[in-house]
Amino acid sequence: MLYIKEKGIMALILALAVIEAVAAGTIPMTALAILVIGLAYGFMNPIECIKERTAWLIVAALAGGVADSMNAIPIAGMYINHIVDSVAVAAGGVWVANFATSMYNRVKP
């Protein structure tokens, strides 16, 4: 059941990213919604493996820069760029939630 929830949340993030890329401004504060969903995903699915947490951090930090190069693709590049940027925002939320959970688990009695 947890697997289905994970897939559903990722599908929601991707759907919001695509909607924002295609019809920017249709849903107010979409980036904030994507970030909050990423945070919720991170708190619901704490990641114990440091390598996986590091991978989320790398995606959050570098995906936006790599996505900017997609603008070189005619017509579709700006949409791909915007979608990847939105997914990077969600990845940042997942990482922050997991970082906070990890710190909490280290200091709790």
Find the mean pLDDT for residues 58-68.
92
Please state the pTM of the whole predicted model.
0.88
What is the tally of structural domains in the chain? 1
What are the DSSP calls for 22-44, one per residue? Answer: HSTTSSTTHHHHHHHHHHHHHHH
| Distance, CA of 72 to CA of 91 (rounded, Å) | 24
- Domain enclosing residue 101, as ranges: 2-107
- Position 91 scores a pLDDT of 95
User: Span 55-68, mean pLDDT?
Assistant: 92
DSSP state of 70: G
